[in-house]
Every structure is written in structure tokens, then in C-alpha cells.
Amino acid sequence: MPRPRRCRKVGLKPNIDYFKPAGRRITELEEVILTVSEFESIRLKDLMDLDQGIAAKKMGISQSTFHRSIVSARKKLADAIINGKAIKIKGGKFKLVDMPLRTFECIVCKTNWEVPFGTGRPSNCPKCKSKNIYRK
Ligand SMILES: [Zn+2]
């Protein structure tokens, strides 16, 4: 019996959930289906440049599950771009969580990190402990 899939946490619902090559009718197109958790893994890792461990934790899944999700997402996006397919974002098990974050940067070592709203301003850099930090 397959293990039940854990519900993934997603911080941002896709604004646009359908992309298609210009100048082609939808009826002529093949579609790739990107799940919302695949969408989220691309957003966290490839767009926000988060460390894989942090991204997995945000989504409430293991690093290996996260890795499978992002590999699958990249493959689907590549398939769509190379083979001229439409991309539909839907489905998968996910829970939308409110994850507004503030990004801080350390002036000394240039480390960037995120802190959820409502947890107070961090007093120093998590890496070098410098107090020379600012909100981006
Ligand atoms: Zn630092």
C-alpha cells in the first residue's frame, strides 16, 4: 500500500494557473499539469533561492520529497517550453498557509534570512552574530 501523502504547505496560491504558447489554439495543445506543490517548490527554490532544507521545512515535507517535487516540476516546465505545451497549475494535496515573511540582510557577511511577521525583529545575524543587520 502506498504511504499516504502528507499535506504540503503552500505560502502563495498561483495568481495565474494557465499558460499557453502564443498563437496556438487551446484545442491544439497538449497540457502539462503542474501541481500546486510543484509550483511552490519552484517558487521557493528557484525564484527565492532558498536553501532546500529551509524550503522543505516551509512546506512541511522531507528534503527528499521536496527534491522529487522540484525535479518533477523542472521536467514538466522543460517539456512545456521545449515541446510547446500549455501549462496548467492545479491539484495535489496542499494547504494554503499564511506565511508573510520579512527578509533581513547582514551588512557584515551578506547573509539573507527570513523571519515571519509577528515574531519581533531579530537582534543579530544568525551566521556571524553581527548586530549590523537591516530589513530588505
Ligand atoms: Zn552576518
- 25 shares a domain with 85: yes
Secondary structure class of 134 (helix, strand, coil)? strand
Residues 16-70 have pLDDT tens digits of 788 889 988 878 889 999 988 899 999 999 998 899 999 999 888 999 999 999 9
Q: In the predicted model, what is the mean pLDDT of the chain?
A: 85
Which pLDDT does position 13 carry in this prediction?
66
Query: How remote is the CA of residue 115 from the centroid of ligand 1, in Å?
Result: 15
First to last CA, the chain: 47
Based on the structure, what is the number of domains in the chain? Answer: 2
Stretch 69-88: mean pLDDT: 96
Helix (H) or strand (E) holding 104: strand 101-106
Distance CA 6, CA 4 (A): 6
Range of the domain at 62: 1-98
DSSP H helices, the chain, are: 36-42, 52-59, 63-83
Percent of the chain with pLDDT strictly greater than 70: 82
Query: How remote is the CA of residue 135 from the centroid of ligand 1, in Å?
Result: 13
Residues with CB under 5 A from ligand 1 (ion): 106, 108-109, 111, 125, 127-128, 130
Query: How remote is the CA of residue 112 from the centroid of ligand 1, in Å?
Result: 9
Stretch 90-115: mean pLDDT: 80
Distance CA 66, CA 18 (A): 23
Neighbours of 77 (CB within 10 A): 19
- 68 shares a domain with 6: yes
Is 0.75 surpassed by the pTM of this model? Answer: no
**Does position 132 have pLDDT exceeding 80, yes or no?**
yes
Can you give the CATH number for the domain in which 109 is found? 2.20.28.10
